Amino acid sequence: MPEAPPVRMVHLGIGNFHRAHQAWYTANAPDAAEWGIAGFTSRRPDMAEQLAPQDGLYTLITRGGTGDDFTLIGSLAAVHPSTDHAAYLDYLRRSEVAVVTITVTEVGYLAGSDGSLDRTNDAVQADIAALRDDSQAPVTSIPAKLVAGLLARRSAEGGPISILSCDNLPENGALAAAVVRDLAADVDNSLLGWIDQNVDFATSMVDRITPATSPEDRVLVARTQGYEDASPVPTEPFSEWVISGKFPAGRPAWDESGARIVDDVTPYEQRKLWLLNGSHSLLAYAGSIRGHATIDEAIADPECRSWVEEFWTEAGRNLILGTEAAATYTSALVDRFGNLRVRHQLSQIAPDGSRKLPIRILPTLRAERAAGRMPVGCATAIAAWILHLRGKGAPVKDPGAEAASAAAADPDLNRAVEGVLRTLDGDLPSDTDLVETVRDRVNLLMESP
């Protein structure tokens, strides 16, 4: 069994993706023995309850086309529930803790449509009040947790630190910086100068399809490896990580374990968000409407495949990296999506479309309309989401979709389309040709067998 390395990183939002991606890259770095991770769960403590008795050890099941590879990962030195705020602050006070990584999904940053902190959010308001009263008070939102940690670090003279976002968001480091700075200004304005001098907000693009753990995965590990693992992680062979940051307090040698360190993540993040995540959303809604449960089932459906390829053509010709890079990437995506042994559930991808579609679909839609083209693939994705909001296909799990759901419920389809488009971008309903195209795609999907 690998020994737990000393804690030099903290991770917020520990789940399967972090364990298949950042923790895996760290475990494979040549200096892994020096870089342990203290992981904190999101709201539910399940992961801590499963991993703490195992000293943070877990099995990564890499599912290739012909078989499984099993790797015991030991980079998690400690695992805590999100409620263990005292432990979190203790780590942030330590000068040897050099990096905080984050995987909290798009909604976890609590940003408004303009990219600034959503100060109307109840959790944000409660956390600001709590930190004003006591800088060590327990808080629940990610922006407040980061500010609380930075307050503790400044007080302890812990020195510089990097905050590295690993979520599927464009310019995720800049977004993390914006919400942290906004909340810091409301709690203790003097912290802003310290942040400018000591905090590096790094950016990254992350790519590895990682489904949820099933009971069968646990049985498989016990049968083939001869030990019990309460929380193994299934994932695909492909993995990519592109990072941009200064890391003033140091970082693991991720570049020697396969990560790419660059000056600008944008071209890679754009490629991944538009081509992989955009088609994932399209398949989550359209595929589930057609009765499919997983990505491999949906991409094997010729109708779904044609819609995805239509969308890929539209997105690919607007990428910074160009159409050739898009073609190479989407060719690999066909194989990745078709991996029968990964079984990525559409219901796992479908939540929070109100936050995902503006990032994954709208950039291509706007670029195509500006070029005078009608983006039928984008229209299909939006049409499928409208039907999803009307109760078709995967269940709706989207706290931010209240207005969109109300609009989608309008019995007049034209008004429903206009209303949903308005929630995505207030200018879209004035594009009558786009409204007509989305409406036609809704009708097409409703006729779908």
The token pair at 178 is 């914006």
- The length of the chain is 449
Cα(273)–Cα(309) distance, integer angstroms: 15
Q: pLDDT digit of tens for each residue in the chain (449 aa)? A: 667 899 999 999 999 999 999 999 999 999 999 999 999 998 889 999 999 999 999 999 999 988 999 999 999 999 999 999 999 999 999 999 999 999 999 999 999 989 999 999 999 999 999 999 999 999 999 999 999 999 999 999 999 999 999 999 999 999 999 999 999 999 999 999 999 999 999 999 999 999 999 999 999 999 999 999 999 999 999 999 999 999 999 999 999 999 999 999 999 999 999 999 999 999 999 999 999 999 999 999 999 999 999 999 999 999 999 999 999 999 999 999 999 999 999 999 999 999 999 999 999 999 999 999 999 999 999 999 999 999 999 999 999 999 999 999 999 999 999 999 999 999 999 999 999 999 999 999 999 77
Burial class (CB in 10 A: 0-12, 13-18, 19+), 190: exposed
What count of Cα atoms within 13 Å lies in the side-chain half-sphere of residue 256?
Answer: 9
DSSP 272: I
Cα(140)–Cα(83) distance, integer angstroms: 8
Work out the angle at residue 399's Cα, subtended by the Cα atoms of residues 47 and 409, and round it to the nearest 5 degrees: 140
The token pair at 358 is 């503006």
The region, left, alpha or beta by phi > 0 then psi within -120 to 50, assigned to residue 345 is: beta
What count of Cα atoms within 13 Å lies in the side-chain half-sphere of residue 183?
Answer: 35
